[in-house]
Amino acid sequence: MGSLTATTPKPLLALHGRPIIEHILGGLHDAGITDAVIVTGYRGEQIETHLGDGAGVGVRLSYRRQDMAEDAARGTARALLLARDALGEQPFVLTWGDVVIDPSDYGALLAEFRRTPCDVLLTLNEVDDPWRGAAVYVDDHWRVTRLIEKPPRGTSRTRWNNAGVFVFTARIFPYLARLQPSTRGEYELPQAIAAMIADGCLVRALPLQGFWSDLGTPEDLAAAEHAPVARVFSMDRSPLRGASGQDWALGAATSDRLPAAGVSQLDAAERRRIDALCGRYRKIYGRAAAFVVRAPGRVNLLGEHTDYNGLPVLPMAIDRSVLIAGAARTDSLVKIRNVTPRFRSRSYTIAESIPAFPSGDWGNYSKAAAQAVADYCHGDPCGADLLVDGNIPSAAGLSSSSALVVATTLALLAANDVDVPYATLAERLPAAERYVGTLSGGMDQAVSLLAQAGHALRIDFFPLRVRTVPLPAGYAVVVCHSLVAAEKSLGAKLAYNRRVIECRLVCRVLEAALGSGLPRDLQTLGDLATLFPGRPLLDFLEYLQLPDRPLSVAEIAAAIGTSPERLRADCDVGPDDDDYFSLTRRARHVFAEAARVDQAEDCLRRGDAVDFGQLMTASHASCRDDYEISCPELEALVIAAMQAGTVGARLTGAGFGGCTVNLVAEDDVRVFLQRMDRDFYAPRLPAGAHAGDYRFIFAPQAGASVMRV
């Protein structure tokens, strides 16, 4: 890094041989941003002369100057107001001229904003004691609950620091106009954001994955007094559609057209994706890919949170998938790259025991697969050079992560020329996926591998059995996003695992209550169906003689005559799990949901869409009231769908955000979508966003495939 001099503005100092500002503009360009406004303070003319109209950095530039002698009011908030006319009503990215982040994090920021629109999306870095910038407090869903500007040292109870790169919608401007200058004469941006939080605006945060620096020590910051005040970058006219099409975002392949029923072959769009992927592969790895694998995501029609209880589910594969192009290596290294820059390149050695990347790293899904593959390969497995292209929206309850595990498994098996039956993999991979710390069941992997085009799949577990189920003629399945991300690797994982633990606790209580009437201990609640054939599972609720309220482990242990320590150990209750478990409700949902899957299969076999729709709606109510996995946005989405003319609507997947699945008569689909856009999406999406990016119709697809190329 160059040294600060009195005459060189900080953004023009060289970092790795290039002015800092060019690093920043290059990152914005790669993220798909075409226009930027630069607001300068002192020595702005040097920056203008250096960058000109921006042709050299691939971003069209315009400038605003703040007269530092005249304008006593400084600070980023003031600079933003100066750029107001150029920014218009579009969402825009803001960054300081001296905050340098890994360029791919700009792309990640925009992808996150498109996936879950909000009023402000700010970036975070993790520090020991956030005292230099604003300390940021977030909830489990990365919603910002508090922002404290420059807190006294040692007082923060958060490790998240505002990293100084934001996406804003125009909603910020009235708050900026109302700001009062701070004691330093600065108009502090965090004050405006804090006021927005207080007013109930949606302010979210995204931790940066890579490098961050504000270039400095406190001395650097003091020197920045003489540097330009702020740089403001606006996005082009249609920011939510214009940027990279390779994100795992909903925009990738949406269509309002009804798909042809039962499409079993790769359609033209998928072929184009494969060709493009192979082209990129050659560029990146300098040789041709030897194979391409494809693993689809899924939507579950009915049977939520039943799979890990050994009870049936009814999903189908969607037309979004993970593609991986690959070729074997001669050593045991696995190199995995993603066409979406947000997912950083990873490499590791395939072996019997592979140490994990830090929790939350996408590379762990690949390692989960590699660990499983190592078991199937005799001798030393070879590694592979892999390139991933996924278009399943992530954190949407559509199983993007399991599709990645399935695809990586198939890719590494192909590299090693090892053949394993899909049904065997479907049984084995759920356990492999626990590598990432989720206690999930087997639905996602099984349907991704075994789905049949044009059909839903009834899946039973332990042992795994599948059978196709027809869909009612004349009806379409519509998937709608609630605009809330359900991150499987973050808060939603904890909430999900907690439900699994609650079901284990129910097993212990039933064992105690049934006593010698039970031939053996229960591995899962589904064992009751095997041990007492013909007896409705809901009958067993009467053995749960517990108050219908959250109970502590100590209370449950006392009720069944065991010690809390033993119960914790038996059910893997973690030391950090708080102590309130809702057993009666959880059991009621699981038992009733399993019965609904049986009834639903009957309805579908006789083509009764209306009865099936009612079962979907009943399932949603049970997910909401007894399993408590819904959220206000999912509720609003289901209500909007009922009013828009669906015959059945429910959340799908793990819950806590993500998508709903809706059954709609084909003749009503056009009106249904119009109403959803008008009633649900229009009031919630920022100007410029396109509702069509958040809901889609699809034909059920076949399961995973491996193509030699």
Does residue 297 touch ligand GLA according to CB under 6 A? no
Q: Which of residues 134-153 bind ligand GLA (CB under 6 A)?
A: none
Least distance from ligand GLA to the Cβ atom of residue 657, Å = 12
Q: Which of residues 397-416 bind ligand GLA (CB under 6 A)?
A: 399
Catalytic residue among 236, 247, 389, 444: 444
In the set 236, 247, 307, 626, which binds ligand GLA (CB under 6 A)?
307
The binding track of 53-92 with respect to ligand GLA, each residue x by CB under 6 A or -, is ----------------------------------------
Least distance from ligand GLA to the Cβ atom of residue 662, Å = 17
Enter the tokens of residue 86.
Answer: 């150029």
Q: Tell me which residue of 592, 590, 635, 596 sits closest to 614, measured CA to CA.
A: 596
Nearer to ligand GLA, 583 or 654 (CB): 654
Least distance from ligand GLA to the Cβ atom of residue 586, Å = 13
Least distance from ligand GLA to the Cβ atom of residue 546, Å = 24
Rounded CA separation 229/231 (Å): 7
Chain centroid offset of residue 438 CA: 14
Nearer to ligand GLA, 141 or 305 (CB): 305
The binding track of 341-380 with respect to ligand GLA, each residue x by CB under 6 A or -, is ----------------------------------------
Size of the site for ligand GLA (CB under 6 A): 12
Rounded CA separation 229/110 (Å): 24
Listed ranges 124-132, 204-212, 234-242, 303-311: which one lies at the site for ligand GLA (CB under 6 A): 303-311
Nearer to ligand GLA, 93 or 301 (CB): 301
Listed ranges 271-279, 300-308, 513-521, 568-576: which one lies at the site for ligand GLA (CB under 6 A): 300-308
Rounded CA separation 230/165 (Å): 11
The binding track of 423-452 with respect to ligand GLA, each residue x by CB under 6 A or -, is -----------------xx-xx--------
Nearer to ligand GLA, 159 or 585 (CB): 585
Q: Tell me which residue of 613, 611, 628, 699 sits closest to 663, measured CA to CA.
A: 613
Least distance from ligand GLA to the Cβ atom of residue 366, Å = 17
- Enumerate residues 6+ apart whose C-beta is below 8 A from 544: 506, 509, 510, 513, 583, 584, 587
Nearer to ligand GLA, 346 or 493 (CB): 493
Listed ranges 32-40, 305-313, 516-524, 675-683: which one lies at the site for ligand GLA (CB under 6 A): 305-313
Least distance from ligand GLA to the Cβ atom of residue 581, Å = 18
CB 207, CB 111: distance < 8 Å: no
Rounded CA separation 34/236 (Å): 6
C-alpha dihedral (508, 514, 518, 523), degrees to nearest 10:
-20
β-partners of residue 458 are 467
CB 142, CB 205: distance < 8 Å: yes
The binding track of 254-293 with respect to ligand GLA, each residue x by CB under 6 A or -, is ----------------------------------------
Nearer to ligand GLA, 230 or 506 (CB): 506
Does residue 247 touch ligand GLA according to CB under 6 A? no
Q: How far is CA 560 from CA 123, 515, 575, in A?
A: 48, 11, 21
Using a 10 angstrom Cβ sphere, with 0-12 exposed, 13-18 middle and 19 or more buried, the burial of residue 351 is middle
* Separation of first and last alpha carbons in the chain: 46
Does residue 627 touch ligand GLA according to CB under 6 A? no
Enter the tokens of residue 647.
Answer: 């015959």
Listed ranges 302-310, 447-455, 472-480, 601-609: which one lies at the site for ligand GLA (CB under 6 A): 302-310
Task: Look up tokens 């009666």; give the residue.
Answer: 584
- Enumerate residues 6+ apart whose C-beta is below 8 A from 313: 300, 302, 303, 304, 306, 307, 441, 443, 458, 459, 597
Does residue 308 touch ligand GLA according to CB under 6 A? yes
Using a 10 angstrom Cβ sphere, with 0-12 exposed, 13-18 middle and 19 or more buried, the burial of residue 461 is buried
In the set 236, 270, 304, 385, which binds ligand GLA (CB under 6 A)?
304
Is 444 considered catalytic here?
yes
Q: Which of residues 644-703 bind ligand GLA (CB under 6 A)?
A: 653-654
Least distance from ligand GLA to the Cβ atom of residue 538, Å = 19
Nearer to ligand GLA, 230 or 443 (CB): 443
Least distance from ligand GLA to the Cβ atom of residue 433, Å = 8
Does residue 305 touch ligand GLA according to CB under 6 A? yes
Q: How far is CA 202 from CA 88, 207, 300, 664, in A?
A: 20, 17, 29, 31
Nearer to ligand GLA, 47 or 479 (CB): 479
- Enumerate residues 6+ apart whose C-beta is below 8 A from 502: 581, 582, 583, 586
Nearer to ligand GLA, 167 or 447 (CB): 447
- Enumerate residues 6+ apart whose C-beta is below 8 A from 471: 316, 454, 455, 456, 477, 604, 700
Q: What is the CA radius of gyration of the chain?
A: 27
Q: How far is CA 149 from CA 99, 214, 604, 691, in A?
A: 17, 16, 57, 35
Chain centroid offset of residue 187 CA: 34
Catalytic residues: 444
Q: Give residues in contact with ligand GLA (CB under 6 A).
A: 300, 304-305, 307-308, 399, 440-441, 443-444, 653-654
